[in-house]
């Protein structure tokens, strides 16, 4: 009876379900925006400037009469895509760096560890300002900034787990048998790191969405007229006191998306802990 109840909790975690449904709704409205609105996110209407939310314009209109709901839905597509690529890139670089910090020769380990420390100590906004002041802002530069901002945190997580695994008997036995370190990492150590990477992926995705919105709001991300959540908020910053919907509603989209991913991450973490406790009991 206890086993059945535990199994249900493992696979029917309410946090994962709630976060997953919310994220699915947001992703569906972004990648299938044409199903939710017929308005063109780039079409201007000087006769409908800064109109409040209504049945005709659910999220109102902006300073040149563009439909904000259409811009939020279509902008979500680009924001999610860029955040997803940045998340995958940061986890990939972080996993490689974290593994090198444990299994590489001593000089490489020292170099990687110092690079992680420096990156974690350096404010990512200052890094973004420094890079975008030297090169023109673009999608590629934005993704690069996301990878630079997130790889160190992933590397620290991977390094922590890999250090624990390196001291276990099965790794020591593999080293004694002369198995190449790359094979040890990929076939033996990485499977134990994977659950933590999945949890980190959800958290990193939420952080990347906020990061993209921050840079776009500062004018260093997606350039107008292409819609993105941060860019929409940038367009409405001069009308915060008179046209609240221009910044509040795209900001709400960012909050709800980040919340859904955090719920998924917390649910996956609890599920992982329950699985470990179940394995230890058996």
Listed in sequence order, the DSSP H helices in 104-138 are 106-121, 124-134
CA torsion angle 135 139 143 145 (round to 10)? 30
Q: How confident is the model at residue 245 (pLDDT cuts 50, 70, 90)?
A: very high
The boundaries of the domain holding residue 148 are: 2-281
pLDDT at residue number 275: 66
SS3 212: helix
- 2 or 280, which is more confident: 280
Task: Quote the CA–CA distance of 100 and 102 in Å, as a whole number.
Answer: 5
- Residue 131 has a pLDDT of 80
Q: What does residue 37 show for φ and ψ, rounded to 5 degrees? A: -155, 145
- Tens of pLDDT, residue by residue over 148-189, are 888 998 999 899 888 888 878 778 887 787 788 788 888 878
Measure the CA–CA gap between 225 and 60, rounded to whole angstroms: 18
pLDDT band at 138; cut points 50, 70, 90:
confident
- Residue 114 corresponds to which tokens in the numbers above? 């110092």
Distances (CA, A) of 161 to 96, 102, 115, 154, 239: 13, 10, 18, 11, 48
pLDDT(64) > 70: yes
DSSP H helices, the chain, are: 2-11, 14-31, 68-103, 106-121, 124-134, 139-166, 169-176, 181-184, 190-217, 229-236, 245-281
Q: What is the pLDDT of residue 72?
A: 94
> What are 120's two structure tokens?
């974690």
What 8-state DSSP symbol labels residue 117?
Answer: H
Closest CA to 26 of 264, 270, 268, 256: 256
The angle at the Cα of 202, spanning 32 to 265, to the nearest 5 degrees, equals: 120
The count of structural domains within the chain is 1
- Whether the pLDDT of residue 11 is over 90: the answer is no
- CATH classification of the domain holding 114: 1.10.3720.10
């Amino acid at each position: 009876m206890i086993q059945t109840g535990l199994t249900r909790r493992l696979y029917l975690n309410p946090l994962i379900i709630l976060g997953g449904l919310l994220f699915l709704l947001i992703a569906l409205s972004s990648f299938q925006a044409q199903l939710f609105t017929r308005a063109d996110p780039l079409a201007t209407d000087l006769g409908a400037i800064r109109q409040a939310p209504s049945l005709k314009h659910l999220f109102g209109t902006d300073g040149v009469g563009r439909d904000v709901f259409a811009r939020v839905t279509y902008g979500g597509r680009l924001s999610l895509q860029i955040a997803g690529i940045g998340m995958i890139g940061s986890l990939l670089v972080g996993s490689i760096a974290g593994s090198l910090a444990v299994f590489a020769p001593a000089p490489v380990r020292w170099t990687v560890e110092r690079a992680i420390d420096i990156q974690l100590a350096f404010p990512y906004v200052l890094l973004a300002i420094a890079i975008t002041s030297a090169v023109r802002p673009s999608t590629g530069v934005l993704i690069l900034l996301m990878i630079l901002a997130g790889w160190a945190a992933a590397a620290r997580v991977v390094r922590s787990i890999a250090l624990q695994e390196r001291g276990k008997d099965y790794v020591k036995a593999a080293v004694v048998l002369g198995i190449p370190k790359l094979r040890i990492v990929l076939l033996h150590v990485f499977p134990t790191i994977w659950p933590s990477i999945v949890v980190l992926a959800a958290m990193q995705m939420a952080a990347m969405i906020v990061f993209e919105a921050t840079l776009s709001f500062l004018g260093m991300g997606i350039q107008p007229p292409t819609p993105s959540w941060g860019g929409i908020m940038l367009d409405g910053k001069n009308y915060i006191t008179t046209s609240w919907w221009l910044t509040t509603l795209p900001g709400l989209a960012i909050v709800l998306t980040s919340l859904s991913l955090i719920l998924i991450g917390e649910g996956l973490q609890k599920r992982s802990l329950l699985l470990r406790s179940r394995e230890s009991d058996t």
